Amino acid sequence: MTAPKKRKTLRSDAKAMVEECAGWNARLAARCISQFLDRELAQSGLSIGQIGLMAQIAAATDDTMGALAKRAGLEQSTFSRNLRVLAAAGLIEIALVEADQRRRAVWLTETGARRLEATIPLWRKAQAKLAKQLSLALPRRLAQAAQALVVE
């Protein structure tokens, strides 16, 4: 009647972790879905991440960077850097706010707006294709619940 081997316990614990960990599963899902959409939308020349960012900007009315980052659920520093890629591509513009020189205002350029517009039908098609394999309510509910975790 010796004690069970530690390593065997570790292995089964690890297996449970892999199967059940919300973080692992959420990231795995995000990777797979992003890869799928990136491939479906490859002809647009934009990644699904960039499209999402542009949509965030297009959907906003007059927000500055901090507010946008928060709504996007991104670290302000991450948001800032991601925007630079879009700005370098000529899809958005970033400018100082007259009234408060700390702030930055962001908007789509004409080019950016056209690109986003052109991408929407492709996105709809891809999203529909996706919906055949998984319930779209799933990621939506998950995102909604997850956002509550990081209210600071």
Q: List residues binding DNA (CB under 7 A).
A: 27, 31, 34-35, 38-39, 47, 49-50, 53, 64-67, 74-78, 80-83, 85, 88, 94, 99-104
Helix (H, G, I), strand (E, B) or coil at 136: coil
Residue 95 or 136: which CB sits closer to a copy of itself? 136
Please provide the distance, in angstroms rounded to a whole number, between the alpha carbons at the two ends of the chain.
51
Which amino acid is located at 3 in the chain? A
Whole-number minimum distance, CB 18 to a copy of itself, in Å? 5
| Contact positions vs a copy of itself (CB under 8 A) | 6-7, 10-11, 13-15, 17-37, 48-49, 51-52, 54-59, 72-74, 113, 116-117, 120, 123, 127, 130-131, 133-136, 138-143, 145-150
Neighbours of 116 (CB within 10 A): 20
CA 129 to chain centre: 19
HSE-CB of 38 using CA atoms within 13 angstroms? 9
Residue 12 or 67: which CB sits closer to DNA? 67
